[in-house]
Amino acid sequence: MTVSEAESDPKSPVLFELRDSGVAVVTLNRPERMNAWGGGLAAAFYRCIDRAEADPDVRVIVLTGSGRAFCAGADMGDLDTIGGADAGGDTDVTKLVGERHPYFVTQLRKPVIAAINGACAGIGLTQALMCDIRFAAAGAKFTTAFARRGLIAEYGISWILPRIAGWSAAQDLLLSGRTFFADEAKELGLVKEVVPPEELLPRALAYAEDMARNCAPSSLAVIKRQLYDDALRNVHDTSAAAEKLMHESMQRPDFIEGITAFFEKRQPSFPALEEETP
């Protein structure tokens, strides 16, 4: 698979690669710090995600890490610079976390697939859970860690974790802060598949590329919005909203193309996602 565009600076804390398949690969790139959240990583991550969201050539986003970690949590070195809690000052964690909370990826119109290549802890786990689908490398370690650092369930993990793994599992993982491995993550429903480390990115890319080839970007955008919006609605309002969205989808050319391709037994040719009107 040829690469049509890549980040020119390999020292950037986040790399961006746009593949000919319509899949953008965003790579957290501080391997010497186990891709810890800090050191300019947050701002670079937002820039890369915004770039992928705005580019009509991008249909699916894959998020992964370089080296032996996905994201090992907050950069403890940076914690010394964000406030003077011990000196009686206010600790401004927003300087470390960045301008956006992890849930912002749920509000994108494009699917985000996490390829969890290694250690996934703290805010790294929160960010992975906010992705739409997750694959993990065999042996990858996971932990919420918050309770063992004197912290709380931060930045929406107490909302997303019970919805993915169930109430009991969320209580276990958040209250104990214990370490668990990729195989248990799959049993709990946190990841879709566990594959050998060398097969992780190819498998996630194959999944993303199949989605990019065969799914209408307009449908992906609406379905993703439905999933997160409907989590806060009752079934009556959910069904009513879905009926309205269904009527709208049947007016788009994507619907005609999807049906025609099905009957003609060919791959559909869906148009790129249109820009949102303000």
Q: What is the pLDDT of residues 57-75, one digit of tens each?
A: 999 999 999 999 999 988 7
CA dihedral sign of residues 134, 137, 139, 142: negative
Confidence at 271, pLDDT banded by 50, 70, 90: confident
Asked if residue 4 belongs to a domain, the reply is no
Residue 221 and residue 192 share a domain: no
pLDDT given at position 5: 43
Match 């786990």 to its residue by tokens.
125
Domain count, the chain: 2
Residue 163 and residue 53 share a domain: yes
Within 10 Å of residue 154's Cβ, how many Cβ atoms?
17
Q: Say which residue, 237 or 156, is predicted with more confidence.
A: 156
What digits encode the pLDDT tens for the residues 35-59? 998 878 999 999 999 999 999 999 9
Q: Say which residue, 196 or 258, is predicted with more confidence.
A: 196
Of 227, 217, 121, the residue nearest 164 (C-alpha): 227
CA–CA dist 96, 48 (Å, integer): 18
- Where in the sequence is the domain holding 234, given as residue range(s)? 216-264
pLDDT given at position 110: 97
Determine the average pLDDT of the residues in 240-257. 71
pLDDT given at position 265: 81
Asked if residue 242 belongs to a domain, the reply is yes
Strand extents, DSSP E, the chain: 3-6, 14-19, 23-28, 60-65, 69-71, 112-116, 119-121, 133-137, 141-143, 180-181, 193-195
Averaged confidence pLDDT in the chain: 85
pLDDT given at position 101: 86
Confidence at 2, pLDDT banded by 50, 70, 90: very low
- DSSP annotation of 269 reads -
Q: Which of 186, 213, 240 finishes a domain?
A: 213
Residue 200 and residue 77 share a domain: yes
